[in-house]
Amino acid sequence: DTRMDLAHSLLLKLNSRYPRTQHPYQEERSAFAFILREYNRCGLVFEHYIGGEYLSRARPGDIGATVPLTPVPRATQVRAWQNLDRYVFSDTVQKLPPDILNRMTYQEWEPLTNGSWAYNPPDRHDVPIVEIIGGLQNRILAMMFQPLRLQRIDEIGVRSAPGSTMSLTDLFNWTQNSVYGGLRASNLSSIPLTARNLQASYTGMLVTMALKPAKGTPSDAQALARAKLVSLSGTLRSALNSSSLDEISRAHLENLQNKVSLALQGRDTASAP
> pLDDT 10s digit of each residue in the chain, 273 long?
788 889 989 988 988 888 888 887 788 888 999 999 999 999 999 999 999 998 889 898 889 888 888 899 999 999 999 999 999 999 876 678 888 888 888 776 555 444 445 566 678 888 889 999 999 999 999 999 999 999 999 999 888 888 999 999 999 999 999 999 999 998 899 999 999 999 999 999 999 999 999 999 999 999 999 999 999 999 999 999 999 999 999 999 999 999 999 999 986 554 455
* pLDDT given for residue 113 in this prediction: 46
* pLDDT given for residue 109 in this prediction: 56
Preceding amide of 19 cis, omega within 30: yes
Q: pTM for the whole thing? A: 0.88
123 burial (CB, 10 Å; 0-12 / 13-18 / 19+) is: exposed
Q: Which one, of 99, 86, 98, lies nearest residue 4 by Cα? A: 86
Residue 271's SS3 state is helix
Instruction: Print burial letters for 60-82: b (CB count within 10 Å at least 16), e (below 16).
Output: eeeeeeeeeeebbeeeebeebbe
Q: Which one, of 183, 179, 181, lies nearest residue 204 by Cα? A: 179
* pLDDT given for residue 117 in this prediction: 53
* pLDDT given for residue 95 in this prediction: 78
* pLDDT given for residue 26 in this prediction: 82
